[in-house]
């Protein structure tokens, strides 16, 4: 998942290439964890590595090449995936010297003491509007691989994580098809590269986003991989599915088969479920997050291997998203609530990434938001926010016109109390109420907080969003 927003398209959502090849047995399942760093309150790398070990993670993926993290991972035996930043892909694609310099600076000083196994070129590139980068993706991957071979780092594989929007059709799974705008120009060369170098198709797959887009037709338990909830039979293939993850993965398998690469190996680069979110986001809670991640780990580590209905008995190496709740991620509240741990290092819920623990002792909190919230919601300014930053957000909200801030002008019904936070809260609520349907949010770069408590008083009435 991007370190910004986790886009999802429903139903026709699933994308992901599966693996099945004679070499599938060469890699063990061994789930790992994504170590994101978009937080201003996270433990230092050495402590984070201790916590990763406590979760019994066999792998870790970082979204850069942070030298302090790579140093802390030395001699741990944990397999490591590092990432080439999106911003430099186009430059590397046409410059072998630059690729060599990148490998010299970011891989050579740490290997093999730090067990770097994968260099991922970019993150969810096909989800970016910048299509120039799309067409430079595979050329950049070739450059990085050539550099790795130059330094005799032949055990390190090169890949790139894609998001679900690489498919334009995914339901039923047998209709799986890559986006026509990138099939010939990006996907086919990528699959050729992956198969020639015996690498993996890295995919970010979230049943949460598929379910939340259509909670009426998709049962929650089906998305959580709960047993004996429901089943779906593909009318074309005749394959029967008992959980949404398998359905999504097989859609990608069918897409790869359609372009002539049915046996490409799959690596799940991200999967997970949010443990919290905004008032208007259903199903994001600790209970569901724990159930999903525990079930996923059980599936990936089960013996004999389960695979999927289309590709049974295949290894599905994976990373769970994410290590921490990251408070500086942008977008809806769920973006900041995908962690296995709180920033202080304590567990949000019990989890064992090795899959060896099947029973957990602590009772999970009963979910209260599995059904859509029905009622009014207001958007308030966060307490203790920086005054200068809050003032800028206030100006932005008021600057959208439509009388958004008329009541907080001198003499207006909501002018008093004359405080920055009060005025900003009114402006946020007014802005959100007017512009939500056209994409406006209550986020305001982390300054806005949703509430179900009406802040109105007297003749001052705060606008609200009604769900």
Residues identified as active-site: 124, 270
HEC letters along the chain: CCCCCCCCCCCCCCCCCCCCCHHHHHCCCCCEEEECCCCCCCCCHHHHHHHHHHCCCCEEEECCCCHHHHHHCCCCCCEEEEEECHHHHHHHHCCHHHHHHHHHHHCCCCCCCCCEEEEEECCCHHHCCCHHHHHHHHHHHHHHHHHHHHCCCCCCEEECEECHHHEEECCCHHHCEECCCCHHHHHHHHHHHHHHHCCCEEEECCHHHHHHHCCCCCCHHHHCCCCCCCCEECCCCCCEECCHHHHHHHHHHHHHHHCCCCCCCEEEEEECCCCCCCCCCCCCCHHHHHHHHHHHHHHHHCCCCCECCCCECCCCCEEEECCECCCCCCCCHHHHCCCCECCCCCECCCCCCCCCCCCCCCCCCCCCCCCCCCCEEEEEECCCCCHHHHHHHHHHHHCCCCCCCHHHCCCCCCCCCCCHHHHHHHHHHHHHHHHHHHCCCCCHHHCEEEECCCCCECCECCCCEEC
Report the alpha-carbon distance of residue 235 to residue 246 in Å, rounded: 16
Phi, psi of 386 (to 5 degrees): -60, 130
Residue whose pair of structure tokens reads 């859609």 in the numeric block: 251
CA 95 from chain centre, in angstroms, equals 30
Q: Is residue 123 a contact partner of residue 63, using CB atoms and an 8 Å limit?
A: yes
């Amino acid at each position: 998942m991007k370190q910004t927003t986790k886009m999802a398209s429903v139903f026709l959502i699933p994308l992901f290439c599966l693996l099945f090849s004679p070499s599938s047995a060469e890699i063990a399942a061994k789930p790992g964890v994504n170590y994101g760093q978009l937080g201003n309150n996270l433990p230092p790398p050495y402590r984070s590595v201790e916590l990763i070990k406590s979760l019994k993670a066999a792998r870790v993926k970082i979204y850069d090449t942070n030298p302090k993290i790579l140093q802390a991972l030395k001699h741990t035996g944990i397999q490591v995936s590092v990432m080439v930043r999106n911003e430099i892909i186009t430059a590397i694609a046409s410059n072998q010297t630059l690729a060599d310099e990148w490998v010299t600076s970011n891989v050579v000083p740490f290997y093999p003491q730090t067990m770097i196994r994968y260099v991922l070129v970019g993150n969810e590139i096909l989800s970016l509007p910048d299509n120039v980068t799309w067409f430079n993706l595979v050329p950049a991957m070739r450059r990085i691989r050539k550099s790795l071979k130059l330094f005799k780092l032949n055990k390190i594989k090169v890949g790139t994580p894609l998001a679900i929007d690489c498919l334009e059709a995914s339901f039923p799974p047998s209709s799986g098809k890559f986006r026509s705008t990138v099939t010939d120009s990006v996907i086919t060369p990528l699959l050729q590269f992956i198969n020639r170098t015996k690498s993996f198709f890295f995919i970010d797959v979230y049943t949460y986003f598929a379910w939340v887009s259509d909670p009426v037709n998709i049962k929650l338990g089906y998305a959580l991989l709960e047993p004996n909830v429901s089943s779906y039979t593909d009318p074309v293939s005749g394959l029967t599915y008992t959980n949404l993850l398998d359905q999504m993965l097989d859609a990608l398998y069918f897409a790869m088969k359609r372009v002539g690469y049915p046996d490409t190996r799959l690596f799940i680069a991200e999967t997970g479920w949010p443990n919290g979110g905004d008032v208007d986001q259903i199903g994001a809670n600790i209970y569901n997050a724990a159930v999903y991640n525990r079930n996923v780990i059980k599936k990936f580590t089960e013996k004999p291997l389960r695979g999927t209905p289309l590709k049974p008995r295949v290894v599905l190496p994976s990373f769970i998203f994410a290590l921490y709740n990251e408070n500086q991620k942008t977008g809806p509240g769920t973006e900041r609530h995908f962690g296995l741990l709180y920033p202080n290092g304590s567990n949000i819920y019990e989890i064992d990434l090795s899959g060896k623990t099947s029973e957990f002792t602590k009772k999970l909190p009963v979910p209260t938001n599995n059904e859509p919230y029905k009622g009014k919601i207001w958007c308030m300014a966060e307490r203790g926010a920086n005054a200068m930053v809050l003032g800028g957000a206030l100006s932005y909200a008021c600057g959208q016109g439509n009388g958004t801030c008329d009541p907080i002008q001198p003499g207006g019904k909501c002018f008093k109390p004359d405080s920055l936070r009060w005025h900003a809260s009114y402006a946020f609520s007014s802005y959100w109420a007017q512009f939500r349907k056209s994409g406006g949010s209550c986020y305001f770069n982390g300054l806005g907080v949703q509430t179900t408590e009406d802040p109105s008083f007297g003749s001052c009435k705060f606008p609200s969003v009604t769900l």
